[in-house]
Structure 1
Amino acid sequence: MEFSYPSKSIIASNITTESLQKYREEISTLLKEDGWSPFFHLCLYKGFWFHPFFLDGAMYAQDHFQAQPSDIFLCSAMKTGCTWLKSLSFAIATRGQYDESTSPLRTIVPHDCIPFLEYGEYSTAEGPRIPLFASHLPYTLLPKSIIDSGCKIVYLCRDPKDTFVSMWHFFGKLKNKKPREGGLVSIEEAFELFCKGLSSYGPYWEHVLGYWKESLERPDKILFLKYEDMTNDTEACVKKLAEFFDCPFSLEEERKGIVQGIIKFCSFENLSNLDVNKTGKQVKKDGFLENSAYFRKGKIGDWRNHLTAEMGARLDNIMEEKLRGSGLNF
């Protein structure tokens, strides 16, 4: 796989004022619940909870995004290892164009290398078109053209306890352009909401189940991965990704250490210490986020430092009940 890497001017928001107004009118009619802070109230849209500033882009993508059969989508719930998956996928797919010294990953946060579908960061204009996209959307809310075009999808999930803790820390770092009273709720309060399914793109178990069931039906089109497996055997997962992308590593590439080079370059230790990820920031629609927020720890089992054993057991029991009969477990 080879593609021309588009400039930032190509990856631009396409949502018109008229479209935005239409979507916001629809959003205003949705059921709302308090989220994890006054800034993060949630809206129920077709069975899933969204922050409004993600939802208008999702609606636009559903109406306008035209997938191509060669497109590949990296899908996940929030805070399941998406930053790592993006960096590995980008490095794998562009290894014929860039080496470690010239990779855009050195100067651009991974989330700007592979755009998020629902953030409106793609172009319908003619010109260079990157065939890798990312999305936090549930399977049932992906644009119809993605399914109809037979696009490949990589789905990454993670132990829900670590996912929850990572999400709570992440939202605590989002800076609002217009500060409002009140901050993030306590981790205990956020945990109660998460257990009820009230979280961004939640319920988490429904998000995971949607992609899991489809991966059983279409294993040639949907590659289902666990963060823990990627961590425990990164080399096997990197090779699996390359094969799924139809650009497997040659014996010569393996002999030259290309696989290990990509793993090392995209490691948490390396990426988190790049200047762009230590000092850069992303400007969002309602605020900004320092790039360092995407690189907190990435450790399996870190939830034990923030949740009690009883809380962990409770969430495990919820997941066991929700996933029962599916063949999936954590």
Structure 2
Amino acid sequence: MKVGYFTVHKSGSMLVYKLLKKVIDLEINYKFYSANNSDQGRFVNIPDGNPANSGELSQLYNEISSGIVGPLRRPLNVKFDHDIVLVLRDPRDCLVSMFHSFTKIHGGIPEEERERRIKKGIDGFCLQRLEDLASRYDIYIDEYLDKPNVTFLKYEDIFLGDSDSWISSFLDPLHLSENIQAAVYDYFKAEVSLDTADGTTHKRRMLPGEHKSALTGEASAEINSRLHNILQRLNYN
């Protein structure tokens, strides 16, 4: 059994990782491949995707015959011969969340780079990152979304929809026992509790729609124009 979990940056990717790690902690039969892992036993580190290594990472991904892989934050040229779960968020909220993460929260960023991004401002930062993010959504929509073995989940449905159905669909491809599924469900419910939101962590802002107040009218119009087809296809208004 092989299951791949795909997403983008700031689309709940750390939640995806934590849920998969919880599964591996409980289910001893699976190997787990992730850029967030340290190499240790069943936890295997693989490179994080970027435009420069997408071909190499695609080959590595396709050579994995069994196990859980993800979260992968960029689309790859994959063989659709196994189950894939695709978790996406309103790309406008992803852009806003990236700004806050890459200026205040995310580790490993030189202070001068943080200051440069802050000086550029949220509008400038989001416009600079827009094409890279939009191109990932374009590929997911064109190449992944309508495949019969791809389960598409929207991040927002955790908070605005049926969260029980969301976590059930997230876990279904893994064929877990009832006991393990129940344990992961309880962990999920604790992780997505709004009481755990913390402005200094990856759970800075959990509810959707922040872009509506964070971006100026001019920047918002340009972003909406580039994302128009994506927003329509994914039913974001």
Q: TM-score normalized by structure 2?
A: 0.68
The alpha-carbon deviation at position 82 of structure 1 amounts to 0.7
Structure whose alpha-carbon radius of gyration is higher: 1
Question: 3-state SS of the aligned residue for 2:156?
Answer: helix
Residue 121 of structure 2 is matched in structure 1 by 186
The code of the aligned residue for 2:211 comes to W
Report the RMSD for the aligned CA atoms in angstroms.
3.8
How many angstroms apart in 2 are the aligned matches of 1:115 and 1:172? 29
The code of the aligned residue for 1:328 comes to L
The code of the aligned residue for 1:329 comes to N
How many angstroms apart in 1 are the aligned matches of 2:72 and 2:125? 23
- 1:280-312 per-position Cα deviation (integer Å, ceiling 9, x unaligned): xxxxxxxxxxxx542212221122342235543
How many angstroms apart in 1 are the aligned matches of 2:141 and 2:25? 28
How many angstroms apart in 2 are the aligned matches of 1:302 and 1:323? 16
Residue among 254, 270, 295 paired with 2:203: 295
**Contact 1:209-1:323 at 8 Å conserved across structures:** no
Cα gap change, 1:154 to 1:115, in 2 (>3 Å):
farther
Residue 62 of structure 1 is matched in structure 2 by none
Residue 14 of structure 2 is matched in structure 1 by 83
Alignment pair present for 1:213 and 2:142: yes
**Contact 2:99-2:125 at 8 Å conserved across structures:** yes
**Contact 1:264-1:270 at 8 Å conserved across structures:** no
Unpaired stretches in structure 2, ≥5 consecutive residues? 29-34, 50-59, 61-65
Residue 261 of structure 1 is matched in structure 2 by 186
Residue among 23, 42, 47 paired with 1:118: 47
How many angstroms apart in 1 are the aligned matches of 2:14 and 2:97? 12
The alpha-carbon deviation at position 258 of structure 1 amounts to 4.5
Cα gap change, 1:303 to 1:322, in 2 (>3 Å):
closer
**Contact 1:164-1:194 at 8 Å conserved across structures:** yes
How many angstroms apart in 2 are the aligned matches of 1:178 and 1:323? 34
The alpha-carbon deviation at position 95 of structure 1 amounts to 4.2
The code of the aligned residue for 2:153 comes to L
Alignment pair present for 1:147 and 2:79: yes
Alignment pair present for 1:226 and 2:226: no
Bigger fraction of residues in helix: 2
Residue 172 of structure 1 is matched in structure 2 by 103
**Contact 1:155-1:223 at 8 Å conserved across structures:** yes
Question: 3-state SS of the aligned residue for 1:137?
Answer: coil
The alpha-carbon deviation at position 205 of structure 1 amounts to 2.6
The code of the aligned residue for 1:301 comes to G
1:24-103 residue pairs with structure 2 within 5 A? Answer: 70-92=1-23, 94-96=25-27
How many angstroms apart in 1 are the aligned matches of 2:194 and 2:139? 32
The alpha-carbon deviation at position 242 of structure 1 amounts to 1.9
Cα gap change, 1:271 to 1:309, in 2 (>3 Å):
same
How many angstroms apart in 2 are the aligned matches of 1:193 and 1:71? 36
How many angstroms apart in 1 are the aligned matches of 2:92 and 2:109? 30
Alignment pair present for 1:136 and 2:68: no
Residue 32 of structure 1 is matched in structure 2 by none
**Contact 1:93-1:242 at 8 Å conserved across structures:** no
The alpha-carbon deviation at position 190 of structure 1 amounts to 1.3
The alpha-carbon deviation at position 80 of structure 1 amounts to 1.0
**Contact 2:19-2:188 at 8 Å conserved across structures:** yes
Question: 3-state SS of the aligned residue for 1:155?
Answer: strand
The alpha-carbon deviation at position 135 of structure 1 amounts to 1.5
How many angstroms apart in 1 are the aligned matches of 2:110 and 2:102? 16
Q: Which runs of 4+ in 1 moved over 6 A?
A: 113-116, 270-273
Identity %: 20
